[in-house]
Amino acid sequence: MGSLSAANSKLCFDVFKEMNYDHMIENLIFSPLSLLSALAVVLFGARGDSASQMEKVLYLNELMRTANSSNSTCEQDTGVHSHIQALLSEIIKSSHSQVLMASGMFAEEAYPFLPKYLDCIEQLYKLKPENLDFKNNIEEARLQINSWIENKTKGEIKNLLLPNSLTSSDELVLVNVISFRGTWKYAFQKDQTTAMAFRLDEVTNEITYEKLSNWIGSANMKDTAVVLYLPQLRLHGYYEDLTSILAALGMTDVFNHSRTNLSGITAGGDLRVSKIIHKAMLEVIETGSEFTLNNQTSKFENPELFKVDHPFLFFILHKETKMILFYGRVCNP
């Protein structure tokens, strides 16, 4: 699964770089893992150049060639999709309900899904693609998608798609949402939470996959006591369409009606991806899973002081799989 974590990280930095062009001075958050899983569902049914472009942008091309074949009748040459699903299952299970993730695929009724595709996507990704009447009843389609999201997120996300979010020309719409409510191992003392100055300096964005790999390498990671000053974080990132960002990275054919080849999804294959809607939510406050009366750093000499009073980049990494769940930038908490 190591190659999947590399693909996840590289996609993360590519997408962040494109997002940064339009959000230079704003808070920014998204989930590269959640986005990767949503696009993998399309990749499963992509063929020809459409598949090649997706594999390249998602950094799965080498993995698709070298991964061991799966015993599943649903695999297309390799076990990549089974590996992705195994990662998702492990992360959700180990998060103890802190991570909530849902992906939906909705196609215009004129493009019925192939029965084999439906069976395989449900088997591999626990997802049931649906056909909706975008062409003749766009408002009803919007309400159905909103209802689906509300149900999947247990009421946490309501009315995600606003009126006019969809159009009658939409063909294939991907909806992807993820939320994380972080709990520290040791709770912060709420009576010590206070207002403090936060400098609005410019934050560097020159983070690469190589730098990240070096930082989180076992040789550079160690337990140490830290006196931490951190803003409460309640971040929401909503992107009503990521197709332009992915097209800028080289994934173009699946968005072009005359060039798309999704013949593994629907007969004819001329179905195009119209919209990729992504929402990421993160909440990190004082709450902890363990409470102590004594300062946890008191048993250490000279603990490190880490005061986050200026703009910063952050990521949330699943330690066991090395997958980046969230990546973002805080300019104004």
Q: What is the DSSP string of 51-102?
A: HHHHHHHTT-HHHHHHSPPPS-TT-SSSSHHHHHHHHHHHHHHHTTTSEEEE
H/E element, 292: none
- DSSP label of 154: T
Res 298 pLDDT > 60:
no
Global pTM reads 0.84
Q: What residue ranges define each of the domains in the chain, with the CATH number in brackets?
A: 2-330 (3.30.497.10)
Residue 1, pLDDT score = 46
Long-range contacts of the stretch 192-196 (C-beta < 8 A, 24+):
193/232, 193/286, 196/229, 196/309
Residue 56, pLDDT score = 96
Q: Give tens-digit pLDDT for 112-140.
A: 999 999 999 999 999 999 999 999 999 99
Share of the chain above pLDDT 90, in %: 48
Range with the largest mean pLDDT of 55-69, 92-106, 260-274: 260-274
Region 8-36: mean pLDDT is 87
* Distance linking the first and last C-alpha atoms of the chain: 35
Region 251-258: mean pLDDT is 96
Which residues are bridge partners to 239 per DSSP? 278
Residue 44, pLDDT score = 94
| Structure tokens that stand for 136 in this block | 């003749």
Find how far residue 28's CA is from the centre of its chain: 13
Positive or negative, the Cα torsion across 128, 10, 314, 17? negative
